[in-house]
Chain A
Amino acid sequence: MQQFVQLVVSGLAVGSVYALVGLAFIMVNEATGVVNFATGQMVAIGCFLGVTTSLQMGLPLAPAYVLALAAMAFFGVVFYAVVFRPLQDRPVVTVIIGTVMIGIVIQNAALMTWGSVPFRPRSPFGRQVIDVFGAALSAHALFVIVVAFLMIALLYLFIYRTAIGARMRAVAQDRDAARLMGIGVDRMFVLTWIIAGLLTGAAGILVGPMWFADVNMGDPIALKAFAAIIIGGFSSVPGAIVGGILVGLAEMLGAAYISSAYKDGLVFLVMILFLLVRPQGIFGERIGQRA
């Protein structure tokens, strides 16, 4: 029981991060039709901005996090202006390659800025451990789960319960029709990239105290988040959440009860099975249904 609780909490914490990053993928893809392959690097930048504000500038954690998230929102705008906007009328493949290239640029810029030696960011809970059914659970891991789900709930309300959210969904469904209806499509794109910046920034800030901050941290997280949204459904917010949690739990429970050596293989095997059997994922819609 003790082991199971420990593993489930670890899996949920990891899965929550994958869900946040998965949502960043989905937001950008739904609004712009582009898979942003620099998402992992955006997570790393978010984490390092947290390092800068909390460790290097020495700010208390609350303002440090707010400042880092504000910087990530700005980063989203810059990403839109520098990468997406100039390329948006080009073929999708061109834009995707653009995101890959900018990901490499971001990673090397981070290396030049913060160096190659990892940092250990502070947690609001220090190294506090909570005893649940005899299992020693990291307070920060529980904090990650709570914050991630809070953010996802807020995002859900924003998208489905506000007028701006409705406009964003209209742009996602049909860009030209939305423009004819008087919706500022470009403004919605900017907003989408801001949200992607906030989601990846939050993911980076949350994982830093758990996994340390290093400039190469983004790709493995993005890869698992990508698997999560394939499993959950590429166009679905609930899909990202369920997919993220499933991948996180599969990693932990698979390593404990099946094989630690093949745990990543298990995750990607499930992903491949979904691609073969149910390519739209658990909650995703078939292309025909979206029309």
Chain B
Amino acid sequence: MGNKRLFGRRKVMAGAAAATGLTIWSQRLSAQSGEVAVGAMVPITGPFNVSGQQYHFSLQMVQDEINAKGGVAGKKLKIVFEDVKDSNSVAVNAYLKVVRDIDPPLVFLSSYTTQNLATEPEVTKAQIPGMYAGGGDAMHLKKNPWLFRIRPHDGLQALALAKHATEGLGKKKIGIIYVQNDFGQPGAVAAEKVVKAAGADVVGMEAYAFTDNDMSAQLQKLKNAGADCLICISYGKDGALVLKLMKEMGIDLPVVISSGVMVPAARNLIAPDELAHVNGVMDAYLAPERGPDVAAYIKTFKERFKVDPDPFGSCYYDGAWIMKQVMDKVGTDRTKIRDELKLVKDYKGVTNVFTTDEVGNMVHSLAVFSIKPGTRDPVFIRTITA
């Protein structure tokens, strides 16, 4: 009886292998017949999924919009999503898989620098243009000709934070609190340099781990050091915790905070009175008053996904439209796409104006905001350009 099982182990394995083969075959086939398939490395699950979800949504939306306008290079656009979670090895394997399976003319890379640093050697080998949103300066320092960054780099953000604290708010004793990783640490060092160059003092620099939930010791130290303003280099939830703790501890210092906290999902965690002394930078000024295109984008996004779009994910929307413009012009030849991406100049997207520089950075400005008293609504103050 045991030997006559309908689904023996060998049969099941053979079936699985056949199914896998069919999947690969069918994806390759689909990429060759009437579709242009591009890859997207998205942190769909895991700790990075807050921004990953926005990235995912943006590309789903742009895929439909591009196809409604004739696709790319005369063919239907198909974006093949791979979940890169929060792991570098998963990101590399996802990249290799998408290259093997669909042989794409372009890949949207992760929104996290460590994953992109891990994937970068494979990009060089594959010679496939990649667009990415991770801010770490380490990426553009590699000067990889195949990579293009579609949001401001972290060095620019640190510059904007420090400039606004010193020149904008006129503060002279700056305390810096930062998340201790490849985003926060170099950002804090860069901000320190700009603060000192502006003739102000850095009275303290305090770090916390990405997974920390209580930064009261660090805040207390900065307060005791005599800070008259804090620069906070954080992501969304941790930055919200910093502001909440400051209010609880009665620390009423003005805070200039990085872009992660200014996105709607993070701002909604913070009570309006905890935002009273907050100024922040954002990758982009995503507001309807910027024009009908931006207003339509925000409206459509919110109607479809029931959340406000944020600049982290929305830059991929712009990236995809730039990709369409390029492929419509030069087709799907990778080298031609790369060369054309290098020539992008003054492309006006919903998030920013894109101009490619010599190291592949396409965005060169950030917006600074305060918060309307008693609300969570940002009020545009100025733009800071590199």
Contact = CB atoms under 8 A, between A and B. Distances in A.
Which interface class (under 10, 10 to 19, 20 to 34, 35 or more) fits B? 35 or more
Given A214-B237, A261-B207, A256 B217 contact: yes
B237 A256 contact: no
Contacts of A263: 209, 217
A59 B209 CA distance: 35
Contacts of A220: 211-213
Interface in B243-274: 247-250, 265, 268-269, 271
Interface stretch (A110-118, A145-153, A195-203, A271-279): A110-118
Contacts of A120: 269
Contacts of A14: 213-214
B47 interface: yes
B269 A7 contact: no
Interface string A109-152: 00100011111100000010100000010100000000000000
Contact of A216 (B47, B218, B236, B269): B47
Nearest to A265: B209
Contacts of B321: none
B46 A216 contact: yes
B198 to A, nearest CB: 25
Nearest to B53: A116
Interface string A221-259: 000000000000000000000000000000111011000
Given A252-B214, A255-B218, A111 B49 contact: yes
Contacts of A212: 237, 240-241, 269
Contact of A116 (B52, B213, B214): B52
Interface of B: 45-47, 49-50, 52-53, 180, 206-209, 211-214, 216-218, 220-221, 224, 236-237, 240-241, 247-250, 265, 268-269, 271, 307
Contact of B217 (A117, A216, A219, A260): A260
A127 B247 contact: yes
Nearest to B251: A136
B50 A116 contact: yes
Contacts of B221: 256, 260
A207 interface: yes
A211 interface: yes
B211 to A, nearest CB: 4
Contact of B216 (A6, A207, A261): A6
Contacts of A216: 46-47
Nearest to B207: A261
Given A211-B214, A256-B221, A117 B46 contact: no
B213 A136 contact: no
A136 B49 CA distance: 34
A36 interface: no
Contacts of B213: 14, 207, 210-211, 217, 220
Given A212-B240, A260-B208, A136 B217 contact: no
A288 to B, nearest CB: 37
